[in-house]
Structure 1
Amino acid sequence: MISCGPVQSFAQCLIRRKTVTADSIQETNLCRCLSTIDLIALGVGSTLGAGVYVLAGEVAKTESGPSIVISFLIAALASVLAGLCYAEFGARVPKTGSAYLYSYVTIGEFLAFITGWNLVLSYVIGLLSFGAKESTTVNKIFTAINGLVLVFVIIGGCIKGNIYYWNIPAEMLVNITAETRNLSSTINITSDYGAGGFMPYGFSGTLTGAATCFYAFVGFDCIATTGEEVKNPQKSIPVGIIASLLICFLAYFGVSAALTLMMPYYLLDTKSPLPGAFEYVEWSAAKYFVSVGSLCALSTSLLGSMFPLPRILYAMARDGLMFGVLAKLSKRQTPVVATAIAASISAVMACLFDLKTLVDMMSIGTLLAYTLVASCIIILRYQPNFSKNVDVELNEEKQSRQTTEAPQGGFSFSSLVIPLPFATQQSSNIVTCCVALIVILCCILSGMAKFRLESIVAAETGSIGCLVPVLLISAVTTFIIWRQPQNKVKASFLVPCLPFLPMFSILVNIYLMMQLSADTWIRLSVWMALGLLIYFCYGIRHSLEGQHHRDCSLPSPFENAKPAEDERV
Structure 2
Amino acid sequence: MNVLKRAFAKESVSGYLEKDGRMSRVLSTKDLIGLGVGTVIGSGIFILPGHEAANHAGPAVAISFFLAALFSGVCGMAFAEFSSAMPVAGSAYSYGSVIYGEIIGWILGWSLILEYFLAVSAISTGFSAYLNSLLHVIGLGLPSYLTAGPGEGGIVNLLAVLVILVATFILFAGLSQSKKVENAGVVLKIAIILAFVIGGLFFIKPENYADFYPKQFHSGAFGLGGITAATAAIIFSFLGFDTIAAHAAEVKNPTKTMSRGILGTVVISSTLYTLFAIVLTGIVNYKQLGVDDPAAFALQAIKQTQFSVVITIGALIGMFTAILALIFASSRLAYSFGRDGLMPKRLGKVNEKHLPKNAIILAVTVEAFLAGLVPLSTLTNLINIGTLTTFFFITLGVLFLRKRKDLKHDGFKMPLYPVLPALIALISLFLISQLSLETFKLYSIWVIIGLIWYFTYGIKHSALKAKD
Band the TM-score falls in, shorter-chain normalisation = 0.7 to 0.9
TM-score by length of 2: 0.82
- Match in the other structure for 2:185: 142
| 1:346-425 matched pairs, under 5 angstroms | 346-350=367-371, 353-383=374-404, 385-386=405-406, 390-392=407-409
Conservation of the 8 A alpha-carbon contact between 1:326 and 1:335: yes
Percent identity, aligned pairs only?
A: 31
Structure with the greater relative contact order (CA < 8 A, sep ≥ 6): 1 or 2?
A: 2
- When residues 351 and 147 of structure 1 are mapped into structure 2, their CA distance, relative to the original with a 3 A threshold, is closer
Structure 1 letter corresponding to 2:399: I
TM-align CA RMSD: 2.5
- When residues 305 and 268 of structure 1 are mapped into structure 2, their CA distance, relative to the original with a 3 A threshold, is same
513-522 vs 372-381, greater mean Cα deviation: 513-522
CA distance in 2, matches of 1:236, 1:33: 11
Q: Does 1:309 align with 2:326?
A: no
- Match in the other structure for 1:79: 72
What is the DSSP-based 3-state SS (H/G/I as helix, E as strand, rest coil) of the residue aligned with 1:215? helix
- Match in the other structure for 1:231: 252
- Match in the other structure for 1:115: 108
Q: Does 1:95 align with 2:88?
A: yes
* Largest Rg, 1 or 2: 1
Match among 423, 428, 432 for residue 509 of structure 1: 428
CA distance in 2, matches of 1:315, 1:23: 9
Greater fraction of residues in helix: 2
Q: Does 1:285 align with 2:285?
A: no
Task: In structure 1, list runs of 5 or more residues that go unmatched.
Answer: 171-192, 393-490, 550-569
Deviations 1:499-520 (A, max 9, x none): 2222222222222223333333
How far residue 168 of structure 1 moved from its aligned partner, in angstroms, is 4.8
Task: In structure 2, list runs of 5 or more residues that go unmatched.
Answer: 121-163
- When residues 357 and 548 of structure 1 are mapped into structure 2, their CA distance, relative to the original with a 3 A threshold, is same
Match among 41, 48, 53 for residue 55 of structure 1: 48
235-244 vs 130-139, greater mean Cα deviation: 130-139
Structure 2 letter corresponding to 1:86: F
How far residue 215 of structure 1 moved from its aligned partner, in angstroms, is 2.6
Structure 2 letter corresponding to 1:542: H
Conservation of the 8 A alpha-carbon contact between 2:330 and 2:363: yes
Conservation of the 8 A alpha-carbon contact between 1:22 and 1:391: no
Conservation of the 8 A alpha-carbon contact between 2:35 and 2:240: no
Conservation of the 8 A alpha-carbon contact between 2:327 and 2:364: no
How far residue 27 of structure 1 moved from its aligned partner, in angstroms, is 5.7
- When residues 66 and 321 of structure 1 are mapped into structure 2, their CA distance, relative to the original with a 3 A threshold, is same
353-362 vs 116-125, greater mean Cα deviation: 353-362
CA distance in 1, matches of 2:317, 2:4: 49
Structure 2 letter corresponding to 1:338: A
| 1:133-172 matched pairs, under 5 angstroms | 133-168=176-211
- When residues 18 and 26 of structure 1 are mapped into structure 2, their CA distance, relative to the original with a 3 A threshold, is closer
Structure 1 letter corresponding to 2:89: T
CA distance in 1, matches of 2:92, 2:16: 21
Match among 428, 432, 438 for residue 519 of structure 1: 438
CA distance in 2, matches of 1:270, 1:278: 13
CA distance in 1, matches of 2:29, 2:212: 48
- When residues 207 and 117 of structure 1 are mapped into structure 2, their CA distance, relative to the original with a 3 A threshold, is closer
What is the DSSP-based 3-state SS (H/G/I as helix, E as strand, rest coil) of the residue aligned with 2:246? helix
Deviations 1:363-388 (A, max 9, x none): 222222221111211111123x23xx
- Match in the other structure for 1:295: 316
Structure 1 letter corresponding to 2:84: A
| 1:460-499 matched pairs, under 5 angstroms | 491-499=410-418
Deviations 1:41-63 (A, max 9, x none): 10001011022111111112222
- Match in the other structure for 2:143: none
